[in-house]
Amino acid sequence: MTVQELHLALGSRFENVELAQAAVDEVIAAHGADEEARHWVGLAVREAIANAIQHGNRLDASKRVDVAMRFSGGVVEVEVADEGEGFAPEAVRDPLAPENLLRTNGRGIFYMRRFMDDVVYGSTAAGGTRVVLRRRIVDRLEGSQER
């Protein structure tokens, strides 16, 4: 079983979203992820990091976003943590509710849950938000492709 890890400490700038997505994409591509899996994981990672920058760290360039990616047993796990004040994901309005269809907020969480197999929120030791995204993808070494 191959295990691959990646750790990034990013400044709270939107330019860093592309960097992190490209790095995660390279790792999962090296493990045989097909284009579709790479696309959906990439979108979820972008949303998580953009949320950490904008909503968690409130665009404060002095705060960082930590990204940790682990790949093991055909599953990619990406953890994104900010240095903000934290939030309650259950308090975010359902973007599919009729009264929210025209609102622009709350969609990132919806997308992450749709594109990944598992999305878990928690708090960092300092009180920021940590989100862990998991998805089974292709692993060349194990020869499986499950979702």
Judge: domain 3-136, CATH 3.30.200.20.
no
Q: Give the global pTM.
A: 0.84
Cβ–Cβ under 8 Å, residues 3 and 70: yes
Mean pLDDT lowest among 14-18, 28-32, 61-65, 75-79: 28-32
> Residue ranges per domain, the chain?
3-136
Q: For 53, phi and psi rounded to 5 degrees?
A: -70, -50
Q: CA angle 77-137-146, nearest 5°?
A: 125
| Helix or strand (DSSP H, E) at 25 | helix 15-30
In this structure, what token pair is assigned to residue 95?
A: 């973007």
How confident is the model over 45-102, as pLDDT tens digits? 999 999 999 999 999 999 999 999 998 888 999 999 999 998 777 666 665 566 656 6
